[in-house]
């Protein structure tokens, strides 16, 4: 029986009294989006970045929340990290509008 990889888009959010921040790739103007909360944890273990101990939370989001987050933070692209935990290396970038459309279509199907 084949297992279908179901995408549960998850972002890393920093919430404090003053402001809300998100994990993003500045030079690419891209929001970091992970396939699941488990991938966020593997990313943290691998890189040491965005630790929960410093107030960063992994938050599951839908396409509407991804769109709002990109607009609120003026981000035009989506970055999906690839690394040892996915069996590949590198990073995939998508235009935010294209990514949101793909998510919407995948949920409609």
pLDDT tens-digit map of 15-61: 777 767 899 998 899 999 999 999 999 999 988 999 999 989 999 99
Q: What percent of the chain has pLDDT over 90?
A: 58
E-strand stretches of the chain = 10-15, 20-22, 24-25, 30-32, 56-60, 77-82, 90-95
E-strand stretches of 46-89 = 56-60, 77-82
* Whole-prediction pTM: 0.85
For residue 63, is pLDDT > 70? Answer: yes
Return the pLDDT at 6: 63
pLDDT band for 87, please (50, 70, 90 cuts): low
DSSP 33: -
């Amino acid at each position: 029986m084949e297992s279908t990889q179901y995408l549960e888009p998850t972002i890393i959010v920093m919430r404090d009294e003053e402001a809300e921040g998100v994990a993003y790739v500045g030079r690419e103007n891209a929001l970091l989006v992970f396939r699941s909360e488990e991938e966020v944890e593997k990313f943290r273990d691998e890189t040491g970045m965005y630790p929960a101990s410093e107030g960063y939370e992994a938050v599951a989001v839908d396409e509407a929340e991804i769109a709002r987050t990109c607009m609120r933070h003026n981000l035009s692209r989506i970055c999906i990290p690839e690394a040892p935990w996915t069996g590949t290396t590198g990073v995939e970038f998508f235009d935010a509008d294209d990514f949101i459309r793909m998510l919407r279509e995948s949920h409609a199907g």
